[in-house]
Amino acid sequence: MLDKVASPAGAQKANQEVDFASAGPSTPAGIFLRKFWQPICVSSELAVGKAKPIHVMGEKFTLYRGQSGAAYVVSFRCSHRLTQLSTGWVKEDTIQCMYHGWAFNGGGKCVFRPGEDPSGPAPAADIKGLPTREHCGLIYAYFGTGEAPSFPPFPDYTERGVIENFSSELPCNWFQTYENHIDEVHVAFVHSFGGSHSKLGRGLQLPEINAYETPYGMVRETKSGEGNLRATLYLFPNTMRIIIPSFNDVKHVGSMNGMSGWRDAYVTLVPIDDENHTLYITQLAQITPDEAEEHRASWAKFQQRIADSAPVKLVAADILAGRYSLYDVLDHPLLVIVEDAVAQSGQGAIVDRASEHLGRTDIGIVRMRRVLAREYKAIMEGKPTKNWVYSGEPPIRGF
């Protein structure tokens, strides 16, 4: 049996008291997010010798890859005349400002000032340099204070296969999507346009749901009728580990326990600002050596289809503006993400939780809010938060 959820009145009062949306550096949620490593870029999208601006949790930084192949994150602006550093040059493992040539290493140290005497290191001109690492095809940075936590944020896959990486910007607050992730009931309706849910044999059969706290975050357990138990993991503060069918373009390659197209996926949501976020997917495709070439070709074709299609955030905006409907974009390569983006951005860029009317199917959302509210309250009171530890527990497919 499912536990009772909070009454609408109780939920409204609780939600008015807790700011789940703000991710700035001085907000409780922002401080909590900064206690963990955050993905900031797909590794393959940052070539050696290239720099790019990044916008993470309401702050701007410069990401670049040195000639050694190492990735670095430093301040957005040069400390000299404050122009944007990403417009400069990567030389060896430093980045040189295009305005007057001042150069900084990956730790933010100012190492060269042309025209100055002396022209060498100038500690007073140092900028911020953040811990930066790579894991399973993503670049991560640590934006918090003090020593960075252990790395990587989740262990390597132990099964044979190929790691697939993907990212997409979504036009709403990150926590709306995280709440959506713990809400399995939405799948029967939101994903009915493309038929992904009915293809699993569920149709409108809604699951019974249980959700509870764990050492790493939360787990959601669901079961439909006489079907198998399904377990999805929520690695705090903003990651989900789930076994899911892959995108239509590539799901014909690779299998899990005889089921074609399934992937063991980590999905992480990183705020850009309070009204936009980036979804990062790292997933294992269990590919045999005989399937390797077909997988490479299919993945390349999939990436090209994405490049040739309108971005998810623009498609969602057009649908919400009434210019066309989801039925008009059924051939979009990221249809399942478009469906979610329409539902979540349709709540508004930042949803007004005080106006909600929650029901029994919202048990996962209610319990997630309760746990995170406890953590945010501890931060506001200057108390320590729970030491969240993930030891590699696997999700359960359930289909």
Instruction: State the DSSP string of 32-91.
Output: HHTTS-EEEEEGGGS-TT-EEEEEETTEEEEEEE-TTS-EEEEESB-TTT--BGGGSEEE
**How confident is the model at residue 254, as a pLDDT?**
85
- Is 81 within the bounds of a domain? yes
**How confident is the model at residue 118, as a pLDDT?**
95
Question: Do the beta carbons of residue 269 and residue 176 sit within 8 Å?
Answer: no
- Is 301 within the bounds of a domain? yes
What single letter denotes the amino acid at residue 141?
Answer: A
Which of 287 and 260 is assigned the larger pLDDT? Answer: 287
Q: Token match 């989740």: residue?
A: 154
pLDDT confidence tier of residue 259, bands split at 50, 70 and 90: confident
Question: Which CATH number characterizes residue 266's domain?
Answer: 3.90.380
Backbone angles phi, psi at 132, to 5 degrees: -140, 130
Same domain, 375 and 240: yes
Largest CA distance in the chain: 78
**How confident is the model at residue 169, as a pLDDT?**
98
Q: Token match 């002396």: residue?
A: 118
**68 vs 55: CA distance, rounded Å:** 24
- Is 150 within the bounds of a domain? no
Same domain, 174 and 267: yes
Same domain, 133 and 175: no
**143 vs 44: CA distance, rounded Å:** 22
DSSP state of 274: T
- Is 67 within the bounds of a domain? yes
Number of structural domains the chain divides into: 2
Q: Considering only 4-8, 48-52, 343-347, 356-360, which range has the smallest mean pLDDT?
A: 4-8
- Is 17 within the bounds of a domain? no
**136 vs 157: CA distance, rounded Å:** 9
- Cα radius of gyration (the chain): 22
Same domain, 325 and 193: yes
Same domain, 43 and 172: no
- Is 33 within the bounds of a domain? no
Q: Token match 């003090």: residue?
A: 146
Same domain, 340 and 249: yes
Question: Do the beta carbons of residue 254 and residue 134 sit within 8 Å?
Answer: no
> Is 303 a residue whose pLDDT tops 60?
yes
**How confident is the model at residue 89, as a pLDDT?**
98
Structure confidence by residue, pLDDT tens digits, 35-88: 999 999 999 999 999 999 999 999 999 999 999 999 999 999 999 999 999 999
Question: Do the beta carbons of residue 376 and residue 21 sit within 8 Å?
Answer: no
- Is 4 within the bounds of a domain? no
Centre a 10 Å sphere on the Cβ of residue 6 and count the other Cβ atoms it contains: 17
> Across residues 295-318, what is the average pLDDT?
97
Structure confidence by residue, pLDDT tens digits, 362-385: 999 999 999 999 999 999 999 999
DSSP state of 383: P
Residue 269 CB partners (closer than 8 Å, separation 6+): 174, 177, 178, 238, 239, 277, 278, 279, 280
pLDDT confidence tier of residue 16, bands split at 50, 70 and 90: low
**How confident is the model at residue 202, as a pLDDT?**
62
Closest CA relative to residue 378, chosen from 25, 5, 28: 28
Query: How far is residue 264 CA from its own chain's centroid?
Result: 15
Closest CA relative to residue 64, chosen from 56, 75, 55, 72: 72
Question: Do the beta carbons of residue 86 and residue 104 sit within 8 Å?
Answer: no
Expressed as residue numbers, the domain containing 265 is 162-380
**How confident is the model at residue 12, as a pLDDT?**
47
Same domain, 137 and 175: no
Same domain, 76 and 112: yes
- Is 157 within the bounds of a domain? no
Backbone angles phi, psi at 296, to 5 degrees: -60, -45
In this structure, what token pair is assigned to residue 279?
């979804």
Structure confidence by residue, pLDDT tens digits, 89-109: 999 999 999 999 999 999 999
Question: Which CATH number characterizes residue 102's domain?
Answer: 2.102.10.10
Same domain, 50 and 108: yes
What rounded mean pLDDT belongs to the chain? 93
Same domain, 316 and 175: yes
Question: Do the beta carbons of residue 62 and residue 85 sit within 8 Å?
Answer: yes
